[in-house]
Amino acid sequence: MKSPLTAALLLALGLGAAPALAATPSAPATLAAHAADAQFKAIYEKEWAWRQSAGGEADEDSDAPASATRLPDVGAQAQQARLKVWDEVLEQLQAIDPATLSADNQVNYAIYKYQIENLADAVRLRTYEMPFNSDSSFWSNLSFMARREMKTAQDYRNYIARLNDVPRYFGQQTGNMRAGLARGFSVPRAVLEGRDVSISMIAELKDPTESPLYAPFKKLPAGIPAAEQQKLRDEARQAIAGSVIPAFADLLTFFREEYVPQARTTLAAEKMPGGEAFYRQQIREYTTLDLSPEQIHAIGLEEVARIQKEMDAIIDKVGFTGKSERTRFADFLEFLRTDPQFYAKTPEELLWRAAWISKRVDGVIGRYMTLPRARFTIVPVPPEIAPFWTAGRGGMDTYWLNTYNLPARPLYNLPALTLHESDPGHALQGALAAEQGEQPAFRRGAYISAYGEGWGLYSEKLGVEMGIYETPYEDFGRLTYEMWRACRLVIDTGVHHYGWSREQALAYLRDQRQGRGCRRSRRRRRAPGAGRAAGLPARPHCAERA
């Protein structure tokens, strides 16, 4: 059964069944709808404006005006103040009967209510006490702040002010992490090995100009006078040396001496205090559905079996025999892993191959959908975070491609990755959303994972029709991403709900003929059941079946 939000998302995409044509509404009904619409609009416009303010903002890379000179307030008191606002908004929404809204606002209502419920639940469950996961962290995300567009001297002064705010911000984050440790709510110790490297890279710097946070000052706009440029560079060096590096040093000490030794030794999310409620909240947030872990686990097993058959068909198609019928699949994976034809020799080669795929998509994408005005660029993932990042991520203006560890970046995976992350995937999706001027800001500026990842999966499949996959090996690469997601459904629920150990999770992979392929993907995400897995239990597969 579809949830109201799922139905709303399907209608927004044009995939759901439209209501039967009805008689023209009466004048009183029309007036009532206008009144309800106005009431609803007043609620979401007020909350959205507040969410962009200093009180409501909790994103260290926000472009909101209130965040121009400071990082967000993430302390416990500020978090509870946000919860109070969102609980009040939920009460106000509860007073509106969605049926009295116009058709468009019924969709908006379902989406907005889902957003606010998730924001409130996350604070209620104190998820801010675990402010990093297997491949993302508040300290690494600062590097993206250095890559935002800055044109004027004031833009650079604002950025320097944010650099000087790092000690306060890190202090609040470590305070939250200590509170999490005190109640057993932390990232598992098993996946923390090596995570201090990205902290020490900054904490141990001797020259502040070597910090990635100094990068914007290496080439300042010509319109800024030379004397002003020198002053900005001096202030930036002072901010990094006097504020940023000491803050990272304090964080490094805390991480090594307190966090790692006290982090939980269990893997299962449900074993944490309030873990069962936390895991259910994460499932709903990332799928929009009230599915049980048992249902997700079963879907994962079915998906693994389906995808395996499609993979076998491709191996048949290329005529690969292997050493024996029993070992054929493993032999094929070994062939893909070891043949030099499938790997870039330099980071630049990986980047230009991705660019070529994107330009081929440009040549045909107009036949399939409306195109946005905004374009995107392709850039390598910053080296200080690349070892823990995914193969790539896309957004409205940037496709970040991970060029670290090239033997883990097979070229046969690149078409599917590029379709998913750039055009027609997340880069195009984000641009289209931003340009929907008739939609409320909370829809243009927010990301719903099931919708976004479902769009990405559709983009991968659309690549078949578009002719982007030029070889059976590239189509096999597309299926490896589907298999990776299916394996995650099984393993994440296995670990976080059924209580599988790390060894049991690896045994599941070994027992599958496709195991090695899944295992390589999981290792790149810091092993089965690692931190972020609790937050990403099921994305497009579950939504597809809803």
Whether the per-residue pLDDT at 506 is higher than 60: the answer is: yes
Cβ-in-10-Å burial (0-12, 13-18, 19+) of 479 comes to buried
| Domain stop point among 236, 265, 294 | 265
Residue 186 lies in a domain: no
Residues 19 and 103 in one domain: yes
Q: Name the more confident of 331 and 445.
A: 331
Q: Quote the pLDDT of residue 47.
A: 96
Domain count, the chain: 3
Residue 272 lies in a domain: no
Q: Quote the pLDDT of residue 65.
A: 66
Residue 366 lies in a domain: yes
User: Would you state the torsion angle of the CA atoms of residues 504, 510, 515, 520, taken in this order, to the nearest 10 degrees?
Assistant: 70
Taking a C-beta distance cutoff of 8 angstroms, is the pair 448, 459 a contact? Answer: no
Residues 401 and 537 in one domain: yes
Q: Which helix (H) or strand (E) holds 283?
A: helix 275-287
Residues 259 and 287 in one domain: no
pTM value is: 0.85
Task: Name the DSSP class of 26.
Answer: P
Written as one string, the DSSP assignment of 94-110 is HTS-GGGS-HHHHHHHH
Q: Quote the pLDDT of residue 70.
A: 92
For residue 383, name the pLDDT band (cuts at 50, 70, 90): confident
Q: Name the more confident of 351 and 20.
A: 351
For residue 67, name the pLDDT band (cuts at 50, 70, 90): confident
Q: Quote the pLDDT of residue 546.
A: 44
Report the 10 Å Cβ neighbour count for 339: 12
Segment 43-55 shows an average pLDDT of 89
As beta bridge partners, residue 378 has 399
Mean pLDDT is lowest, of 22-31, 58-67, 90-99, 163-172, for 22-31
Residues 96 and 20 in one domain: yes
Q: 439-449 pLDDT, tens per residue?
A: 999 999 888 88
Residues 417 and 511 in one domain: yes
- Give CA separation, 255 vs 60, 130, 153, 313, 315, in Å: 20, 13, 36, 48, 47
SS3 132: strand
Percentage of the chain modeled with pLDDT above 90: 73
Residue 212 lies in a domain: yes
Q: How far apart are CA 352 and CA 443, in angstroms?
A: 33
For residue 388, name the pLDDT band (cuts at 50, 70, 90): confident
Segment 159-181 shows an average pLDDT of 98
Residues 482 and 510 in one domain: yes
| Domain stop point among 265, 292, 310 | 265
Whether the per-residue pLDDT at 51 is higher than 50: the answer is: yes
How would you write 360-403 as a 3-class SS string?
HHHCCHHHCCCCCCCCCEEEECCCCCHHHCCCEEECCCEEEECC
Q: Quote the pLDDT of residue 510.
A: 78
Give rounded-to-5 percent helix, strand, coil for the chain.
Answer: 65, 5, 30
Residues 296 and 199 in one domain: no
Q: Name the more confident of 473 and 538.
A: 473
Q: 515-546 pLDDT, tens per residue?
A: 444 544 444 343 333 323 333 435 455 545 54
Q: 342-352 pLDDT, tens per residue?
A: 999 999 999 99
Residues 95 and 212 in one domain: no
Whether the per-residue pLDDT at 201 is higher than 70: the answer is: yes
Residues 286 and 167 in one domain: no
Measuring CA to CA, which residue among 308, 311, 306, 284 is closest to residue 295?
284
Residue 131 lies in a domain: no
Segment 469-486 shows an average pLDDT of 95
Residues 93 and 164 in one domain: no
Average pLDDT, the chain: 88
| Domain stop point among 222, 238, 265 | 265
Whether the per-residue pLDDT at 64 is higher than 90: the answer is: no
Residue 138 lies in a domain: no
Residues 437 and 319 in one domain: yes
Segment 486-513 shows an average pLDDT of 88
Q: Quote the pLDDT of residue 16.
A: 45
Residues 101 and 204 in one domain: no
Measuring CA to CA, which residue among 132, 163, 165 is closest to residue 145?
163
Q: 203-239 pLDDT, tens per residue?
A: 999 999 999 999 999 999 999 999 999 999 999 999 9
Taking a C-beta distance cutoff of 8 angstroms, is the pair 287, 538 a contact? Answer: yes
Task: Give the structural domain span for 306.
Answer: 279-545
Q: Quote the pLDDT of residue 529.
A: 35
Segment 114-143 shows an average pLDDT of 92
Whether the per-residue pLDDT at 19 is higher than 60: the answer is: no
| Alpha helices (runs of H) in 98-212, residue ranges in sequence order | 103-124, 138-145, 153-164, 166-182, 197-203
For residue 17, name the pLDDT band (cuts at 50, 70, 90): very low
Percentage of the chain modeled with pLDDT above 70: 85
Q: Which helix (H) or strand (E) holds 287?
A: helix 275-287
Q: Quote the pLDDT of residue 344.
A: 98
Residue 144 lies in a domain: no
Residue 143 lies in a domain: no
Q: Name the more confident of 446 and 410.
A: 410
